Structure 1
Amino acid sequence: MSEEFPTPQLLDELEDPQNSAVLDSNKGLSSNRVLKDIFAGTVGGVAQVLVGQPFDTTKVRLQTATTRTTTLEVLRKLVKNEGVFAFYKGALTPLLGVGICVSVQFGVNEAMKRFFHTYNASKNANISSQNVDLSRSNTLPLYQYYICGLTGGVVNSFLASPIEQIRIRLQTQTSNGGDREFKGPWDCIKKLKAQGGLMRGWFPTMIRAGHGLGTYFLVYEALMAKEISTGLTRNEIPPWKLCLFGAFSGTMLWLTVYPLDVVKSIIQNDDLRKPKYKNSISYVAKTIYAKEGIRAFFKGFGPTMVRSAPVNGATFVTFELVMRFLGED
C-alpha cells in the first residue's frame, strides 16, 4: 500500500486531537447529539424510501414469483394491470417505518462509535479518560466499525421485520378493490397480528441486518477515514463523494446478504394459515434449490443492485448533510 494511505488500522491518531471537539466525560453526552442522530437518520430513511420503493416492489415481485419470469415482464404486467402508482404499493408503511428504522440504524451506529472512542481512550494510558475525543471525524479500527453496524442491525431487526412483512404482503397483492385481502397497512397489521404472523421472518431478518449493516457501515467509514487521512475533516468531504461512498457501501451490503434476503421474502410471503415453508430458513433453501437450482437465490438481483446505488447514496448524503446543518455538538 502506498505511503499516502497507511495500513488501514484507521486509528484515532489519523487526525490531530487538538483539531477535534473534546467532550468532558464528567458532563456526559448531550442528549441533543442523540436527537440529532435520530432526526438525521429519519430524514435519510425518508429519502431512501422515495428513491427506492419502485425498485423494491419489482424486487419483491421477482423474489416471490411462483413461475419463472423476468424483470421486464414484471414491469410490463405491473404497469399494464395496476398502473404506475402500483410501484408505490405499501409505501406508506415503509415511509413511516423505514424512517424510524434508518434512524435506529444510524443512531445505534453513532452511539456505538462513541462507546468505542471512550473504550479505546480508556485503554490508552497517555489519554485522560476525562477528555475523550468523540468527534465524528475521529476514526476507529475497522473491526469496531463492523461491530457498530452489526449492533445497529440486530437492534433494528425488531422493527424492520414486521415493517418488511407488511410491505411484502401489500407489494405482492395483485388484486384490486373489494377482492383485496388487505385493504391497507392498518388492515394488514390487524390481520397479521390476529394470525400470529406479524414477526414472521424475524430471525433471517436479524441475520441479514446484522451482517449486512456491519458490512455497510464498515465500508462507508473506511472510505471516509481514507479521506480524513489526507487532512480533510468529515465536514469538508464533498457531497458527491458522500453519495458515491454510500452507493458503494449499499452495493457491498447486498452482495453479502442477497440469497438470505430471498429466503426471508419467501418466508414472509408464505401462507399465514397453512405455511408451505414452515417458517424455516433451511427448509426454504432446500426447497427452492431443488426446484430451480442456485439461480433461485438470485431472483430480483438485478433490480436490487441497480436500486442499491442511488438509494444508499441518497441515504448517506442526506444523513451527513443534515448532521452538518444541525451541527456536531
Structure 2
Amino acid sequence: MAHGSSSNIDGNLKSGVIDFIAGSLGGIAVVYVGQPLDTVKVKMQTFPQLYNGMYDCLKRTLKNDGFYRGLYAGTTPAIMANVAENSVLFAAYGYCQKFVCTLTETESVDQLSTLGNASAGFLAAFFSSFTLCPTELIKCQLQAMREVNLQGSQTTVR
C-alpha cells in the first residue's frame, strides 16, 4: 500500500513540475509577443492627453525611444511577472482541481462539472495574483518613465 501512495505522490510532483515549466514558457511567449501593444496601452492609459490614438503613440514611441527601449521597456519585470503568474497558475490549477474534487466528493478531475473546473480556475488565479501584482506595478512604471520624466521637468515650482 505504501508503494502505491509513494508512486502517486511522485506522479503528482512530476505533473506539477511539467505544469510549472509549461506555464513558465507560456509566460515568456506572451511577453515577447504582446509587450509592444502593452507598452502603448499603458502609455495611453497613463497619459491620454499626450497622444492622439494608438498609432500616434506607437509612432512617437518608436521615434523618441527606438524599437527596443521604446516598445520593450519593462520587459524584464513583465517576464518575471508572467513566468511567475503562469507557472503558479498552471501548477496550482491541477492541485485546485483535486481540492474541488475532495470538496464535491467527485472521484476524479475528469468528472468535475464546468462549475467545479471554474472554481478550481478561480482558486488557482487567486494564488497567482500574489506573484503578478508587485511586478506589474514596476513594469508599468518603466513603460511610462519617459512621460513621467517629461511631465516632471515641465512642472514649475511656485
Change in 2 beyond 3 A, CA 1:139/1:83? farther
Q: Say if 2:132 is the partner of 1:160.
A: yes
* 1:139–1:133 Cα change, 3 Å: closer
For residues 59-98 of structure 1, the aligned pairs below 5 Å read 59-67=41-49, 69-85=52-68, 86-98=70-82
Q: CA deviation at 1:73?
A: 1.1
2:41 matches 1:37:
no
Q: Match for 2:113 among 124, 134, 141?
A: 141
Q: Deviation per CA, 1:135-158: give whole Å up to 9, x if none.
A: xxx252111222112112221222
For structure 1, the residue ranges without an aligned partner over 5 or more in a row are 1-23, 125-131, 181-329
**Counterpart of 1:29 in 2: which secondary structure?**
helix
Task: Give the 5 Å matches for 1:113-192.
Answer: 113-120=97-104, 123=105, 132-134=107-109, 138-174=110-146
Residue 260 of structure 1 aligns with which residue?
none
RMSD over equivalenced CA pairs, Å: 2.4
Are the aligned partners of 1:101 and 1:156 in contact in 2 as well (CA < 8 Å)? Answer: yes
Judging changes above 3 Å, is the alpha-carbon distance between structure 1 residues 139 and 49 closer, same or farther for their aligned structure 2 residues? farther
Letter in 2 for 1:114: K
Gaps of 5+ in 2: 151-158
Report the Cα distance in structure 1 between the residues aligned to 2:124 and 2:55, rounded to whole angstroms.
35
3-state DSSP of counterpart to 1:33? helix
Contact 2:81 2:136 in 1 (8 A): no
Tell me by how many angstroms 1:39 deviates.
Answer: 1.1
Percent same amino acid among aligned pairs?
A: 26
Residue 54 of structure 1 corresponds to: 36
Alpha-carbon distance between aligned partners in 1 of 2:47 and 2:131, rounded to the nearest angstrom: 26
Cα deviations across residues 21-72 of structure 1 (Å, max 9, x unaligned)? xxx9844433111111111111111111111111111111111114163111
Tell me if structure 1 keeps the 8 A contact 2:28–2:82. yes
Q: Distance in 2 between matches of 1:99 and 1:139?
A: 29
Determine helix, strand or coil for the equivalent of 2:112.
coil
Q: How many residues align?
A: 142
Measure the CA separation in 2 of the matches of 1:25 and 1:109. 24
TM-score between the two structures when normalised by the length of structure 2: 0.78
Aligned partner letter, 1:29 = I
Q: 1:211-270: CA deviations, max 9, x gaps?
A: xxxxxxxxxxxxxxxxxxxxxxxxxxxxxxxxxxxxxxxxxxxxxxxxxxxxxxxxxxxx
Taking the aligned partners of 1:91 and 1:55, their CA distance within structure 2 comes to 12
Alignment of 1:1-329 (within 5 A): 26-27=5-6, 28-30=8-10, 31-67=13-49, 69-85=52-68, 86-120=70-104, 123=105, 132-134=107-109, 138-174=110-146
The alpha-carbon deviation at position 114 of structure 1 amounts to 2.4
Q: What CA deviation, in whole Å up to 9, does each residue of 1:106-143 have, x standing for no partner?
A: 111121112234444xx36xxxxxxx545xxx252111
Matched with 2:156 is none
Q: What TM-score do the two structures reach when normalised by structure 1?
A: 0.40
Paired amino acid for 1:155? F
Maintained 8 Å contact 1:62/1:69: no
Alignment-mate amino acid for residue 90 of structure 1: G
